[in-house]
Chains A and B, each alone.
Chain A
Amino acid sequence: MPLVLTLASRNLFHDRVRFVATLVGIIFSVTLVTGQLGLFLGFERMVTAMIDRAHADLWIAPVDTKSFEATALLDGHERFQALPIDGVREVIPVIIGFTYWRKPNDGSLTPVLLIGVQLGSGGLQPWNVVEGNPDDLSTPDAVAIDQSYFERLGIARIGEYGEIAGQKARVAVVTKGIRSFTTTPFVFAALDRARSYMKAPPSSATYFLVRLAPGTNVEAVRSQLAADLSAADVLTSDEFRRRSRSFWLFGTGAGAALFGSALLGVVVGTVIVAQTLYSSTKDHLIEFATLRAMGSSRGYIYTVILCQAVLSALIGFSIAALVGVGLAKASAETALPVVVTPVLILGLLVLTVGMCAVSAISAIVVVTRVDPVTVFAR
């Protein structure tokens, strides 16, 4: 091991209390940041889950649609305007609407977001099905709900009935992990049944998913659709994802709150690490003065301090990363899943090392002022 690293690590481990305080600061900070950014990623996935699963090249949506959970309706002529355009292979309707679910156990009402899908179209369908089959939605009164909402909807098992808008709704399909960012349960139904529950006109839809033939120029089709459909927005899936994220995560302030907390974590971590590195450097000042008297360059001394900072970062990060992964596992089935991805882990590593390097600045400033002549004073 290089001697400069030996010196840095021994200085670091020499005062165990201070070292533990440094690690606690880093772990607290990184865990907080992991939690907040993990929640952000979890929310982001929730917000765009329906868009991701729809596999559409283009979305025809009501004007100024902010997110997937829009409730305005298109009258249906859009589908017939889109179908003749060159390259358009399919135009699949989806209807969305907030309505109420009457619980079978106590008769109380709870709001739900109803999603009417065209079965067998290859468009949006319930996924992660754990009981039943998506095709079962074609049977009378059939709906699909997520098992995580059983209690909210007063359902104990598949086959039980609830009621939507005074009509029967039988749980025929059960999914796992299709959760809503708004916490309002999703209920999937066949397109016509959903229209019936919502009392919507027969050809109406909230969205038309446009699928193109392979090799079609998406932008060209979009431009033509946009020109033809002045009363609708035509969006690519990426644009729709951005709109949804922007609305839920930033328009509502949820994202800002998460990022604010993450930033707070970084600031607290930086201050704690800076404070401990500063006091450690002050305690070792005579050693740094001795190094200087021996003719070491300033760069050599800065390297010692930076090595201390980076070592602290790596050790603290390793522990915090394990805590973060544990947090992600523990929260996977909850309403607030913390999503930890390899990219997030890598980003947090860079952030932690950067945070500790910035923390070293105060210590470096102290050392910059050290006068080697002080070695004669003691």
Chain B
Amino acid sequence: MTEPVIEAVDVVKFLGHGPGRVEALRGVSLSLTGGELTLLMGPSGSGKTTLLSILGCILSPSSGTVRILGRSTAGALPEELAQLRREHVGFIFQSYHLFPTLTAVENVRLALDVCGNRSSLAAVKAHAALATVGLGAKTKAFPRELSSGEQQRVAIARAIVGKASAILADEPTAALDSANGQAIMSLLSEIAKDPSRAVLVVTHDPRILPFANRILRIEDGRLIGEERCAGSALTTPQPDARE
């Protein structure tokens, strides 16, 4: 059996202080393995984003254990967590969070730059990552010159360019129309075919269920269900529908 890319064991997370303190996660255990696209679904306030933040080493659990490729994050300092993120985790955000003053290829290169990879090879890798997401012809475009779907593809290219083992996506299709949402999920399911990569997608969107290999349901900070699926409904990236 292959080692999980990310493993969480009995994770508890309290948020806030004093009377406003809430238990956002109540003993969550899961593992994400390479070659799988996992959907994490649940209503608002169920703890999805908190769990994503903990699995992505942005937040530390109040108790419980998180391991990234077998390495525990317990007791890690903020800079050590940052190092884990840049080496092993690629994030995709609902609002893309591209840098508006950088071109598409510069946005992608930035992920390598923060890792200290500043060689000429970095530019080659960034171009290749953009080609992978179907934007090989728009490498010099600024985010404002790209459609929402294209911007999300740049964000995906940024997440995968560093060969991160875990791709964590927070509502990646929420700001997209149906066609673009399908195209983005196709890309993510292609990425998830790589056995060295695990893809976790937090979503409300039932339209993307067919792309999942596994669906986790969370409610009130607890995982309440897990389904195995065929996955990969669409495996070919769809042409972008400009919004």
Contact status A295-B114, CB under 8 Å = yes
A17 contacts across to B, CB distance below 8 A: none
Contact status A295-B86, CB under 8 Å = yes
B interface size (C-beta, 8 A): 33
How far is the CB of A302 from the nearest CB of chain B, in Å? Answer: 13
Contact status B86-A296, CB under 8 Å = yes
Contact status B109-A7, CB under 8 Å = no
**Chain B 102-138: CB-based contact to A (< 8 A → 1; otherwise 0):** 1000100111011100100000000000000000000
Please name the residue on chain B nearest to A6 by beta carbon.
B106
Q: A2-B118, A3-B113 are in contact. Are A375 and B91 (CB under 8 A)?
A: yes
Q: A3-B109, A294-B111 are in contact. Are A375 and B86 (CB under 8 A)?
A: no
B52 contacts across to A, CB distance below 8 A: 376
Contact status A290-B97, CB under 8 Å = yes
Contact status B82-A296, CB under 8 Å = yes
Please name the residue on chain B nearest to A289 by beta carbon.
B97
- Pick the residue among A3, A6, A294, A376 that contacts B85 (CB under 8 A): A294
**Chain A 27-70: CB-based contact to B (< 8 A → 1; otherwise 0):** 00000000000000000000000000000000000000000000
B111 contacts across to A, CB distance below 8 A: 294
How far is the CB of A37 from the nearest CB of chain B, in Å? Answer: 37
Contact status B97-A287, CB under 8 Å = yes
How far is the CB of B155 from the nearest CB of chain A, in Å? Answer: 10
- Pick the residue among A7, A11, A294, A378 that contacts B86 (CB under 8 A): A294
Residue A297 is within 8 A (CB to CB) of chain B in the complex: yes
How far is the CB of B187 from the nearest CB of chain A, in Å? Answer: 19
Complex-state Cα separation, A89 to B61, whole angstroms: 88
A375 contacts across to B, CB distance below 8 A: 91, 93, 97
Complex-state Cα separation, A144 to B158, whole angstroms: 79
Contact status B58-A14, CB under 8 Å = no
A298 contacts across to B, CB distance below 8 A: 79, 82
Complex-state Cα separation, A291 to B85, whole angstroms: 11
Q: A6-B102, A11-B101 are in contact. Are A376 and B170 (CB under 8 A)?
A: yes
Residue B95 is within 8 A (CB to CB) of chain A in the complex: yes
Residue B146 is within 8 A (CB to CB) of chain A in the complex: no
Residue B59 is within 8 A (CB to CB) of chain A in the complex: yes
Contact status B59-A297, CB under 8 Å = no
- Say whether chain A's binding surface is mostly helix, strand, loop, or mixed: helix
Complex-state Cα separation, A376 to B85, whole angstroms: 15
Q: A372-B58, A375-B93, A378-B95 are in contact. Are A14 and B114 (CB under 8 A)?
A: no
Complex-state Cα separation, A291 to B98, whole angstroms: 10
Which B residues between 47 and 84 are near A, CB-CB below 8 angstroms? 49, 52-53, 56, 58-59, 79, 82-84
Contact status B114-A294, CB under 8 Å = yes
Contact status B97-A7, CB under 8 Å = no
A4 contacts across to B, CB distance below 8 A: 113
Residue A250 is within 8 A (CB to CB) of chain B in the complex: no
B113 contacts across to A, CB distance below 8 A: 2-4
Residue A179 is within 8 A (CB to CB) of chain B in the complex: no
Contact status A295-B84, CB under 8 Å = yes
Complex-state Cα separation, A297 to B83, whole angstroms: 8
Residue A268 is within 8 A (CB to CB) of chain B in the complex: no
Residue B176 is within 8 A (CB to CB) of chain A in the complex: no
A2 contacts across to B, CB distance below 8 A: 113, 118
Residue A222 is within 8 A (CB to CB) of chain B in the complex: no
Listed residue (A3, A6, A7) with the most chain B CB atoms within 10 angstroms of its CB: A3
B59 contacts across to A, CB distance below 8 A: 373
Q: A7-B110, A376-B49 are in contact. Are A293 and B58 (CB under 8 A)?
A: yes
Listed residue (B53, B56, B58, B100) with the most chain A CB atoms within 10 angstroms of its CB: B58
Listed residue (A294, A295, A300) with the most chain B CB atoms within 10 angstroms of its CB: A295
Residue B14 is within 8 A (CB to CB) of chain A in the complex: no
Contact status A7-B85, CB under 8 Å = no
Residue A263 is within 8 A (CB to CB) of chain B in the complex: no
Contact status A295-B115, CB under 8 Å = yes
How far is the CB of A301 from the nearest CB of chain B, in Å? Answer: 9
Residue A323 is within 8 A (CB to CB) of chain B in the complex: no
Residue A286 is within 8 A (CB to CB) of chain B in the complex: yes
A7-B106, A297-B83 given. 12 additional CB < 8 A pairs? A2-B113, A2-B118, A294-B85, A294-B86, A294-B158, A295-B83, A297-B82, A373-B58, A376-B49, A376-B53, A376-B170, A378-B97
Chain B residues at the A interface, C-beta cutoff of 8 Å: 49, 52-53, 56, 58-59, 79, 82-87, 89, 91, 93-95, 97, 99-102, 106, 109-111, 113-115, 118, 158, 170
Q: Which 9 interchain pairs have the tightest Cβ spacing?
A: A295-B86, A10-B101, A295-B85, A296-B114, A290-B97, A3-B113, A376-B49, A295-B82, A372-B58
Q: List 22 A-B contacts (CB under 8 A).
A: A2-B113, A3-B109, A6-B102, A7-B99, A7-B102, A7-B110, A10-B101, A14-B100, A286-B97, A287-B97, A287-B99, A294-B86, A294-B158, A295-B82, A295-B85, A295-B89, A296-B86, A298-B82, A372-B58, A376-B93, A376-B94, A378-B95
